[in-house]
Amino acid sequence: MPQLDEQLFPSTPGKIKIERAHHHYTMNRAVHRCFTSTSTIFLWALFLVALMASYMSIQSFVDSSSRYLHHTTSRGHGGIGGLLWEKQIRSSAQIRRSNGMSVLVTGAAGFVGTHVSLALKKRGDGVVGVDNFNDYYDPSLKKARRGLLDSHNVFVVEGDINDRQLLAKLFDVVAFTHVMHLAAQAGVRYAIENPHSYVHSNVAGLVTLLEQCKSADPQPAVVWASSSSVYGLNDKSPFSESDRTDQPASLYAATKKAGEAITHTYNHIYGLSITGLRFFTVYGPWGRPDMAYFSFTRNILQGKPITVYRGKNRVDLARDFTYIDDIVKGCVASLDTSGKSTGSGGKKRGAAPYRIFNLGNTSPVTVPTLVSILEKNLKKKAKKNVLEMPGNGDVPFTHANISLARRKLGYKPTTDLPTGLRKFVKWYLSYYGYDQGKPVNFK
To 10 degrees, what angle do helices 205-215 and 251-270 make? 10
Distance of CA 214 to the CA centre of its chain: 20
Beta-carbon contacts of 45 under 8 Å, excluding residues fewer than 6 positions away, are none
CA distance 60 to 140: 35
For residue 397, the cross-strand partners are 318
**Is residue 266 among the annotated active site residues?**
no
SS3 content of the chain, % helix, strand, coil (to 5): 50, 15, 35
C-alpha to C-alpha distance for 276 and 181, rounded to whole angstroms = 10
* 3-state SS, residue 238: coil
- The reply to whether omega before 238 is within 30° of 0 (cis) is yes
Cα(150)–Cα(87) distance, integer angstroms: 15
What distance in Å separates the CA atoms of residue 79 and residue 74, rounded to the nearest whole number? 8
Q: Which of 252, 266, 293, 411 is catalytic?
A: 252
H or E stretch including 234? Answer: none
- How, if at all, do strands 178-181 and 221-225 pair? parallel
For strands 178-181 and 383-388, give the pairing.
unpaired
252 and 191 Cβ atoms separated by less than 8 Å: yes
Catalytically active residues are 252
